[in-house]
Amino acid sequence: MSVIRLKKLEFYVPSEDRERVLAALFAAGAGQVGHYDQCCWFSEGTGQFRPLPQSRPHVGEVGTLHRLSESKVELVFEAAKQSAIVGALKAAHPYETPAYQILTVEL
């Protein structure tokens, strides 16, 4: 059995924006595993942040701690598509600085 090496994107997004961001990532080629597409995993939780004076928050107010329902989303993609995937995430995500990480995985 051969090993398949992929990249895995993990990010947080307001729950109400999850489907729109996922659509952009799927259009860029993320979420394909074998003969399946639009594959992802997500869980719901509470995100917290306090916008600093130089920020332009999507929600909340500068200087005030804010909590909201967020989804943590995980999906894989081919390494060659990393630039397009990160670009799609940043373009579709409502936050001015989305929190995300990219890992290398083996299937």
pLDDT tens track for 34-51:
999 999 999 999 999 999
Q: What is the DSSP letter of 34?
A: T
Q: pTM for this one?
A: 0.92
Does 1 score more than 80 pLDDT?
no
Q: Which domains does the chain have, with CATH numbers?
A: 5-106 (3.30.70.120)
Whether residue 99 contacts residue 14, with contact meaning beta carbons closer than 8 Å, is answered with no
Residue 5 has pLDDT above 80, yes or no: yes
Q: Are 29 and 23 in contact (CB under 8 A)?
A: no
Rounded to whole angstroms, the Cα distance separating 60 from 56 reads: 10
Dihedral angle sign, alpha carbons of residues 81, 25, 9, 95: positive
| Token pair for 47 | 């995100």
